[in-house]
């Protein structure tokens, strides 16, 4: 019985900083995750003249795991002629595609639309070796890097569980989270991943919706205000005062008349005369605007307005007015504003907050758990 208690306590890992104690309990992964420790990352659609390189031998397997080809250093093929999935494996880590090296395997998978999907299947923790430094600078404080590692791992696990019946789990762009292959790996971020190996944030035993963004401009947003749906108890709007340390805490853009007319032409109101903010969300972000033109007016949601104007509007925490030079847009923050503010995390880590304190600030009421195999 005594030995059993020791085993249980070994799962309830205690990480201690001064008087702060973090309990990381075991999390029993569903079968969908247990049977596959790898994540499938969509790299893009394969071109006709496709080349895969490696330092050494490249093995090519068919859908039945039968070896169908062996090559040294490089292999090329017309991907458009492919009728069934194949996968590439190298005897040395690092399969190269378009100048970027990737850990794990590369799969070519034809789909029903006549495309061939290029997918990197890689161990989850090794995937994070690239994601963390692709999302935040590797020179950031260690606790901020650990917080990002846990955010990225939790996001990835939730995607794996939700996408088990699809061709891939995540994309390599910020549509999911940034992933650049081995070129972005850095010893500091790799150590942050290893120091938090298997750790994720859960709420009522489920991996949470782990949204994060660059800079909240001083206060985060709730997901229902951005994407609709129901409120999530752990994703309330919270102050983020350390955002001031980061890029785009305050920003401004001036758009001339031609740019505004061209960008908002789909509204059908003619030459833009003014833009008025009609309502804001509780966090201060634009909810609804009225665009007034020479030929009419149109009411438009803030997120649609931002989508039309693109990078000129870095977040929905902005104001707009017409001036002699055009339209002046002044705002705070960058990104959708939901969940962890990466620059807020940086600022908190600089003030000696731990990764657990950072994550619990942005996702309230969550627990930490470690995947058990």
- What gap in Å lies between CA 279 and CA 287, rounded to an integer? 5
Domains contained in the chain, number: 3
Phi, psi of 80 (to 5 degrees): -65, -20
pLDDT for 313 equals 96
Phi, psi of 326 (to 5 degrees): 140, -140
Strands 20-28 and 367-372: parallel
Band of residue 15 on the pLDDT scale cut at 50, 70, 90: very low
pLDDT tens profile 58-73: 999 999 999 999 999 9
pLDDT for 33 equals 65
- 25 in a domain, yes or no? no
| Model pTM score | 0.90
Band of residue 4 on the pLDDT scale cut at 50, 70, 90: very low
Indicate whether 366 and 228 sit together in one domain.
Answer: yes
Indicate whether 111 and 149 sit together in one domain.
Answer: no
pLDDT for 29 equals 76
Kindly tell me the sign of the dihedral angle through the C-alpha atoms of 348, 190, 339, 246: positive
pLDDT tens profile 176-192: 999 999 999 999 999 99
Alpha-carbon separation of residue 283 from 249, 287, 365 (angstroms): 15, 10, 20
Indicate whether 356 and 224 sit together in one domain.
Answer: yes
Indicate whether 103 and 161 sit together in one domain.
Answer: no
Indicate whether 57 and 74 sit together in one domain.
Answer: yes
Q: Which of 74, 96, 123 is the last residue of a domain?
A: 123
pLDDT tens profile 128-137: 999 999 999 9
| Residue 16: pLDDT over 90 | no
Indicate whether 198 and 236 sit together in one domain.
Answer: yes
pLDDT tens profile 197-213: 999 999 999 999 999 99
pLDDT for 221 equals 98
Band of residue 36 on the pLDDT scale cut at 50, 70, 90: low
Q: Which domain holds residue 295?
A: 250-332
Indicate whether 100 and 158 sit together in one domain.
Answer: no
Indicate whether 81 and 164 sit together in one domain.
Answer: no
Q: What is the average pLDDT score of the chain? A: 91
- What gap in Å lies between CA 81 and CA 67, rounded to an integer? 19
* Phi-psi domain of 352 (left: phi exceeds 0; alpha: psi -120 through 50; beta: other): left
- Please give the average per-residue pLDDT across 326-344, as a whole number: 97
Which CATH number does the domain housing residue 70 bear?
2.60.40
Indicate whether 260 and 232 sit together in one domain.
Answer: no
- Please give the average per-residue pLDDT across 323-350, as a whole number: 96
Band of residue 35 on the pLDDT scale cut at 50, 70, 90: very low
Indicate whether 204 and 289 sit together in one domain.
Answer: no
Indicate whether 324 and 178 sit together in one domain.
Answer: no
Q: What is the CA radius of gyration of the chain?
A: 24
pLDDT tens profile 337-364: 999 999 999 999 999 999 999 999 999 9
Indicate whether 51 and 198 sit together in one domain.
Answer: no
- 6 in a domain, yes or no? no
């Amino acid at each position: 019985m005594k030995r059993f208690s020791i085993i249980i306590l070994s799962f309830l890992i205690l990480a201690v900083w001064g008087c702060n104690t973090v309990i990381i309990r075991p999390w029993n992964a569903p079968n969908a995750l247990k049977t596959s420790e790898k994540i499938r990352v969509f790299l893009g659609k394969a071109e006709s003249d496709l080349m895969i390189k490696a330092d050494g031998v490249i093995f090519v397997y068919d859908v039945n795991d039968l070896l169908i080809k062996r090559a040294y250093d490089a292999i090329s093929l017309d991907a458009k002629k492919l009728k069934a999935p194949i996968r590439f494996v190298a005897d040395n880590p690092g399969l190269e595609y378009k100048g970027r090296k990737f850990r794990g395997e590369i799969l070519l998978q034809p789909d029903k639309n006549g495309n061939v999907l290029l997918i990197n299947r890689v161990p989850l923790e090794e995937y994070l070796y690239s994601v963390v430094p692709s999302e935040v600078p590797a020179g950031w404080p260690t606790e901020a890097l650990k917080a990002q590692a846990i955010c990225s791992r939790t996001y990835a696990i939730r995607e794996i569980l939700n996408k088990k019946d699809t061709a891939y789990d995540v994309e390599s762009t910020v549509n999911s989270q940034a992933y650049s292959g081995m070129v972005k790996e850095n010893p500091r971020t790799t150590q942050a991943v290893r120091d938090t190996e298997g750790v994720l944030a859960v709420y009522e035993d489920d991996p949470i919706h782990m949204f994060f963004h660059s800079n909240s401009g001083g206060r985060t947003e709730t997901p229902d205000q951005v994407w609709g749906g129901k409120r999530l108890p752990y994703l309330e709007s919270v102050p983020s005062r350390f955002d001031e340390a980061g890029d785009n805490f305050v920003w401004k853009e001036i758009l001339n008349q031609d740019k505004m007319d061209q960008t908002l032409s789909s509204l059908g109101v003619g030459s833009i005369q003014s833009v008025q903010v009609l309502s804001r969300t509780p966090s201060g972000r634009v909810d609804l605007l009225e665009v007034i033109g020479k030929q009419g007016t149109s009411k438009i949601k803030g997120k649609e307005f931002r989508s039309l104007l693109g990078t000129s509007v870095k977040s929905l925490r902005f104001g707009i007015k017409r001036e002699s030079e055009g339209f002046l847009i002044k705002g705070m923050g960058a990104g959708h504003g939901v969940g962890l503010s990466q620059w807020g995390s940086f600022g908190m880590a600089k003030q000696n907050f731990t990764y657990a304190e950072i994550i619990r600030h942005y996702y309230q009421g969550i627990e930490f758990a470690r995947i058990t195999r």
